[in-house]
Amino acid sequence: MIKIEDVLIVDDEPSLQFFYEQVLIMNGFEVVGIANNGIEAVSMFKSFSNKPKVILMDQRMPEMSGIEASRIILQIDNRVKVIFISADASIKEEAISIGVFLFIDKIFTIDELVDAINNAIRSYSSSTDN
C-alpha cells in the first residue's frame, strides 16, 4: 500500500460516482471531490490549493466533455495524471495527444481501476522527483 493520495472523481452518473468513491476509499485513496461535469471539474481543480495527483475523468457529460475539461486542467497543471474512462475508443488517440496519462475502456474491473491509479501516482511521483 502506498501512502494516501488524493483523487478527484469526474462523472455525471451518480451510481458510478458512488461506487468509484467506495472503491477508492476501500483501497486507501482519498476522494477530494466529485464533479458532475467538465465545468464543475475545472472549477474544483482551480479551487484546490493542494492539487490532486490523479483525476478519474469520464468523457461523455453534459455542458463540458472530459476531453475539454482535461485540456484545461492540464494547461493549469500538467503534472496531474488524468485517467480517462470511456466506452468510446475513437477518442482514445485525441485523449492521449492532449496529455492524458491513461485511457481505460469501459467496462473495467475494480482491480484494473486501482492498478491504473497506482501507476498514475507512481508516474506523478517520479516526474516530480526529477
Partner 1 sequence: MRNIANKTKALKNKFKSLFKGIPIPTYSWQKIDEDLILIDYNDAAEIITKGMIKNYVGMKASEMYKNQPEILEELFRCANDRISIFREMKYDYKSTGEERFVSVMYGFIPPDLVIVHTEDITEKKEVLERLKISEAELKVLNEKLKYRIDSSEEQYRAIFENTGTATLILEEDTTISLVNGHFEELSGYSREEIEWKKVWSEFVVKEDLERMKKLHYSRRIDPESTLKKYEFRFINKEGNIRNILIVIDMIPGTKKSIASLLDITERKKIEEKLKDSEEKARYLIDGITSVGIGIDIITKDYKILFQNQILKEKFGDITGKFCYENYMGLKAPCDFCPMIKALKNNTIESTELIGVDGNNYEIFSAPYLDSDRNTVKVIEIIMNITRRKQAERALWESEEKYRGAFNRAEFYKDIFAHDINNILQCILSGMEVNQLILEKPEKLEDLKINDNIIREQVIRGTKLVSNVRKLSQLEDIKQDLEKIEILNVLENTISLIKKSYKVKKMAFQIDTIEEILFIKANAFINDVFDNLLINAIDHNINPIIEITIKISKEQQNDMNYLKIEFLDNGIGVEDTMKGKILKRGYNEENSVLGMGLGLSLVQRIIETYNGKIWVEDRVKGDRSKGSNFVLLIPEVD
Question: Which residues lie near partner 1 (CB under 8 A)?
Answer: 12-16, 18-20, 22-23, 26, 58, 60-63, 65, 87-88, 106-110
CA pair distance 63, 98, nearest whole angstrom: 20
Residue closer to partner 1 (CB basis): 61 or 116: 61
Q: What is the DSSP secondary-structure string of 49-60?
A: SS--SEEEEES-
* Smallest separation (angstroms) from partner 1 to the CB of 26: 5
Contact 8, 54 (CB under 8 A): yes
Close Cβ partners of 37 (under 8 Å, ≥ 6 residues apart): 10, 12, 61, 62, 63, 64, 69
Nearest CB to partner 1, comparing residues 20 and 29: 20
- Cα distance between residue 28 and residue 45, in whole Å: 21
Which of residues 79 and 108 has its CB atom nearest to partner 1 in the complex? 108
3-state DSSP call for residue 71? helix
| Least gap, CB of 64 to partner 1 (angstroms) | 11
Least separation in angstroms between residue 31's CB and partner 1 is 14
Q: How far is the CB of 19 from partner 1 (least distance, A)?
A: 4
State which residue, 117 or 124, has the beta carbon closest to partner 1: 117
